[in-house]
């Protein structure tokens, strides 16, 4: 669709942001919906988040996505939060409405739907070992709590971060037992009882990165999820494949959270298959 004086704006705010694939999938889905909107990358330095959100609102943006490292900082600029966003204390989607700026976290449903769609895995009653308590980790743990997981063990070398997340999620989802683990010596025991092993760290993104967990700890009964989607087959997923486990790439989470964001902004159902297809094509082409 040709950009003109009636074109409305959307974008993803982060720092750095050059690597993002969100404009690719969002603009393809926007075109398919027949909307006169355009979506772009928005480089915003830390410390300028509130200023950027105020500027986007003033310029009549439909909404914004929020990515690393701004998901928590953006909360302060919201007039209203969805229940998931309030529980997590972080947002990845902003919708500018007559009620003000509303913050959502679509990473939560993006994670659980990807487990269900790509691995036919339901977290209800299951035990989870999650590596990482950062921004993505918050959403993934919330998804586990919302899905009724029985026990969630959160490992992070920053024990305080894991403990804070466990406490936060325990209040939001009291039927799930959340535990913090800060000593890597406890990982073998946690893996032995886990049904799902999930990586919520950036480890695996850089060439030469190791698997985030010792390959010998992965069993064929495990489902192994990696939030890293580039490369498509990370060291962790390669190790899991060798061990006969079911593997789930973070690509599905990226595509499905983006689809949910566009549905919030437009009130329409975007073509999820189109968005996932564009992601896979981009990764296959390097």
Structure-derived torsion over alpha carbons of residues 52, 54, 59, 65, reported in degrees to the nearest 10? 60
| Residue 278 appears among annotated catalytic residues | no
**For 215, which DSSP code?**
G
Structure-derived torsion over alpha carbons of residues 210, 213, 214, 215, reported in degrees to the nearest 10? -90
For residue 232, the tally of other CB atoms under 10 A from its CB is 15
| Cα 1 to Cα 8: distance, rounded to the nearest angstrom | 12
For residue 137, the tally of other CB atoms under 10 A from its CB is 24
Q: What is the DSSP string of 200-266?
A: -SSTTSSTT---SS-GGG--TT-EEEES--SSSS-HHHHHHHHTT-EEEETHHHHHHHHHHHHHHHH
Q: Which of 31, 71, 171, 177 is catalytic?
A: 71
Using N-to-C axis directions, what is the helix angle for 22-33 and 251-266, rounded to 10°? 40
Residues marked as catalytic? 71
């Amino acid at each position: 669709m040709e950009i003109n004086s009636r074109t409305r704006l959307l974008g993803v705010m982060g720092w750095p942001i050059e690597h993002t694939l969100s404009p690719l999938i969002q603009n393809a889905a926007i075109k398919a919906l027949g909307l006169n909107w355009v979506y772009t990358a928005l480089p915003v330095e830390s410390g300028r988040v509130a200023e950027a959100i105020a500027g986007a609102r003033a310029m009549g943006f439909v909404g914004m996505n929020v990515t690393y490292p701004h998901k928590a900082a953006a909360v302060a600029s919201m007039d209203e939060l969805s229940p998931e966003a309030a529980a997590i204390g972080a947002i990845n989607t902003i919708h500018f409405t007559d009620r003000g700026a509303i913050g959502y976290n679509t990473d939560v449903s993006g994670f659980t739907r990807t487990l269900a769609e790509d691995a036919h895995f339901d977290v209800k009653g299951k035990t989870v070992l999650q590596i990482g308590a950062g921004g993505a980790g918050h959403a993934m743990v919330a998804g586990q709590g919302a899905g009724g997981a029985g026990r969630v063990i959160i490992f992070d070398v920053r024990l305080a971060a894991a403990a804070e997340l466990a406490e936060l999620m325990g209040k939001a989802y009291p039927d799930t037992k959340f535990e913090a683990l800060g000593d890597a010596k406890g990982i073998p025991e946690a893996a032995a009882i886990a049904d799902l092993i999930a990586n919520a760290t950036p480890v695996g993104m850089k060439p030469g990165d190791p698997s985030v967990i010792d390959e010998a700890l992965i069993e064929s009964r495990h489902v192994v999820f990696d939030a890293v989607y580039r490369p498509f087959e990370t060291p962790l997923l390669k190790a899991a494949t060798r061990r006969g486990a079911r593997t789930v790439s973070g690509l599905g989470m990226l595509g499905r959270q983006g689809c949910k964001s566009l549905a919030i902004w437009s009130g329409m159902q975007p073509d999820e298959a189109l968005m996932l297809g564009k992601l896979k094509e981009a990764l296959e082409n390097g």
